[in-house]
Copies of this chain bind each other. A is one copy, B any other.
Amino acid sequence: MNRNNDILIPEDYSGRILNGNYTAELKKRVEDLLNIYRAFEKTGNPAMPYVSAWHEEEMKIWYEFASGRFVGLMDCKISELADVLRESVKDRIIYRHPDTDASIEKKVFSSSELIAEREKLREEGRKEGIDAVYKICRNKTKSIWLKDVAAVETYKEDRISLSLGYLTIVTKEMKAEEERLEKERLHVLLEMAGAVCHELNQPMQAISGYSESLVMNINKDDPLYVKLTKIMELAQAMGNITGKLMKITRYETKDYIRGIKIIDIDKSSGQNT
């Protein structure tokens, strides 16, 4: 430990505040937080607490403390953590209106939007605390989702904000949502295919039956013959389409008009793949 203005600085400290030109109040606060968060982590509790900091005039965030589990998850040094995290965040998901009866709005910020909206998000954090989910992709390996909950303290004289938070791995919850959506899409597709066939097969087969019997009992030279043959063929073509509906095994769409997509019945039923 190095002593600096009565502040004990741990050997492996890689923050900035304890060594920097800041008020005794802020330094004491960071020293206390470091001691308490280290002790908390040592108990074996799986929570991943952190203390991050930023200066009002700088765009950079850095970590005064980060749980060893969090650093291990990001596979980097604690001094690189803020950069690595910023580069690895693919999406940041914020949910609005959670406490009202209005429906929850899920807002996903891509990494480029995050840069553009950084100041606004930081201002929101200062006022209301932080509550977001990050989709993180590190070194092209599997994605992980981290939920970040934090309270923000501001030290006016130092122009420093501290974020006291913790991270929770919510990969399972978020991936299960993706998989459930996938299943539900196919489920609805089959329910709709069933309904369409149920409603249309009977009249279609009746048209087929009537037109076939008419074609069989009419002379090829009869002026009605051509139109009746057309009707018979069209009814058979429709039967082929409902036949495909009954073979649907996948959810596949194709572009229709003006950005609207429709189900690709051929691909969904395993034809023309």
Residues of A within 8 A of B (CB): 32-33, 36-37, 39-40, 43-47, 49, 95, 98, 103-104, 106, 129, 131, 133, 147, 149-151, 153, 164-166, 168, 170-177, 179-181, 184-185, 188-189, 191-196, 198-200, 203-204, 206-207, 210-211, 213-214, 218, 224, 227-228, 230-231, 234-235, 237-238, 241, 245, 251, 253, 256, 260-265
Contact = CB atoms under 8 A, between A and B. Distances in A.
Contacts of A262: 191-192, 194-195, 198
A175 B204 CA distance: 43
13 contacts: A33-B43, A44-B151, A47-B49, A47-B166, A177-B177, A188-B189, A188-B251, A192-B262, A203-B235, A203-B238, A210-B228, A211-B231, A214-B227
Contacts of A265: 195-196, 199
A39 to B, nearest CB: 5
State the majority secondary structure of interface residues on A.
helix
A241 B43 CA distance: 66
A196 B227 contact: no
Q: State how many copies of this chain the complex holds.
A: 2
Contact of A238 (B198, B200, B245): B200
A32 B45 CA distance: 13
